[in-house]
Amino acid sequence: MDITQESGKETRPQWDNKIQYLLTCIGFAVGVGNLWRFPYLCQIYGGGAFLIPYLIALVFEGLPLLYLELAIGQRMRLGSTGVWYSISPLLGGVGIASMIVSFLVSLFYNTLLAWILWYFFHSFQDPLPWSTCPLNQNRTGFNEECEKSTSVNYFWYRETLNITTNIETSGTIQWTVVLCLASAWCIVYICFIKGIQSMGKAVYVTATFPYLVLTIFLIRALTLPGAVDGIKYLFTPEWEILMNPQVWLDAATQIFFSLSVAFGGLIAFSSYTEEKNNCERDALLVGIINSATSLYGSIPIFSILGFKATSAYNLCKDRNILALTNHFDFPDQNITRDNYDYWIDHFNQTHPDSISGLNLRPCDLQAFLKQSASGTGLAFIVFTEAVIEMPGSQIWAVLFFIMLFSLGLSSMFGNIQGVLTPISDLKMLPKWIPDELVTGLLCIVSFLVALIFALGSGNYWLEVFNAYVGSVPLLIIAFFELVGVIYVRGMKRFSDDILFMTGKRPNIFWKACWMVISPLMLLAVLIAYVVLQAAKRPTYPSWDPSYESFPDTKTLEYPDWVFAIIILLCVVPIVSIPIVALHRLIRGGIRRSSPRSELSAYSNGGFDADHPESYNQKPV
């Protein structure tokens, strides 16, 4: 890691090389959502048809925002808070909002890593612990809850989470989860102990290893029975589903959150790169690789889903064949999977009453393929169930959870950097406090707050944070980022900045997106999201063994006090934006970005970041 000293006042670290910087940005953008959110959206929204709104959102919303953040951070050499304050003191709250969102997201994101560690440690057992049901207390049979559901569900909901029946019942702390959570935060701290110097080394592994594992999984998954059916389902479009506005809304939000814009992490990362650097090429590279990873990762995921659906389809047939053979007293092997449909039609015509009395389960491959799951359901239930049927299941489980951990860890780097860089740029702590101690205190505080996710109700709370912390706040932050750069700093000055950094001005496409298209798309997505959320009371799925339809989850409405917390999670991160602006207005501190404000203490001929009044100094 190089340390630059320009202006003789401040030093700012820089990346060792361009590859290190790009890998960090790619690692931040490419996360677990690329593997367990994108395939889910493709599955429920008509396969290949979903790619049309997704790519439109990428081109007109995602890439312009990504380019803007990389460019403004690279030019101004500051983190998110410093950038927006230097553009205008009225916008100082935008950076604070990004910092709060990054902090809140890191709380539940690292809990996901803790759960992944838990499964990783258990993946070395033979047989896998989620492959069979445990015995009951009397050791006279299998556990009743496990028998009613599946061994995979039981291991996730009972052994891992020990989940309560609703969010209002806290339950007890799962000390095994606490241990894994502490381990996850220790790993994050070790990677950050020397700031971007140590993180830059770690990213060589965390950003590249998932692609190696994905390729291994792709080769193996394509050889599984039913893989072709899964891939066909992925790429077969259902065009009529494009008439559903929810598809376009989910596509816009997916590309927005997938690129990790508005968190402040990308601005922080780009502030450590060379000032003369082609940030346009970087934005295109990061954005395209991120989306390509989603598509690339979907192929092995859908191959495995196709294998799982085929296994369930065959099992369904086998059970029905056994019932038919016993009822009609047929010789074994007379009814097979190959002639199953013939015999079903035959019996329906000749013995309709007998067939209806057997309560045979309908066996439809397409129905099994449509059984969707996302997030933790895909990783800890669907995949773990499929891996049991794969030869060498321990190896595939270990590889899968190492891959997920690498993806999550590289994304955590951006979340933590989105908090640490603003703390440093704002001079919130005395200079004599070492960075290692600041990082350690942040990890300890985060660990203590995240203990809420280790309770019996922790999974419910994680879903609350996941659904609402990164929704409305990020959309509003991104909108103010566009307004701040294009309409406060000014399109002409920003164009000059890009000319200085890249040697050419942005073309008409980028200008049209920044000035009109992207802000309008953000407003449309924000309004549509709020309207859809306000139209119905928020609900959540609960795991209740006493539910009459168990093992199906029971849908419950959030109680009033939880609903109030949801509103706070949406409002608190962004309340700093109007508060800071109002504070500056009252103090009369309205100052438009000056020519001098384009530089920080770390850029050539920069100003002293310790003295805000120097923002208005005239060029020398």
Residue list for the binding site for Na(+): 27, 29-30, 34, 258, 290, 407, 411
| 295: amino acid identity, one letter | L
Q: Which two tokens stand for residue 501?
A: 């950094």
Joined together, the tokens standing for residue 84 give: 């927006």
Any idea which residue has 């996941």 for tokens?
466
Can you state the angle between helices 491-502 and 279-328, rounded to 10 degrees? 90
User: What SS3 class is residue 191?
Assistant: helix
Report how far residue 347's alpha carbon sits from residue 355's, in angstroms, rounded to the nearest whole number. Answer: 7
β-bridge mates for residue 11, sequence order: 5
Pairing relationship of beta strands 539-542 and 554-557 according to DSSP bridges: antiparallel
Three-state DSSP at 19 gives helix
Let me know: does 399 contact 216? Beta carbons within 8 Å.
Answer: yes
Comparing CA positions, the residue from 18, 89, 69, 6 lying closest to residue 494 is 69
Cβ within 8 Å of residue 501, ≥6 positions away: 71, 74, 75, 275, 276, 277, 278, 279
605: left (phi over 0), alpha (psi -120 to 50) or beta: left
Q: In this structure, is the dihedral angle defined by the CA atoms of residues 546, 547, 549 and 555, taken in order, positive or negative?
A: negative
Q: Report H helices in 503-606.
A: 508-512, 518-534, 560-587
| Binding-site residue positions | 27, 29-30, 34, 258, 290, 407, 411
- Contact criterion met (CB below 8 Å) for 93 and 111: no
Nearest partner of 11 among 619, 464, 600, judged by Cα: 600
* Structural contact between residues 199 and 413, judged by C-beta atoms closer than 8 angstroms: yes
Q: How many Å apart are CA 465 and CA 459, to the nearest integer?
A: 10
For the record, the structure tokens of 214 come out as 């994905």
Structure tokens at 554: 């029971």
| Distance separating alpha carbons of residues 412 and 402, to the nearest angstrom | 15
CB 321 within 8 A of CB 337: yes
| 474/255 Cα distance (integer angstroms) | 13
Residue 573 in tokens: 């991160």
Q: Are 35 and 374 in contact (CB under 8 A)?
A: no
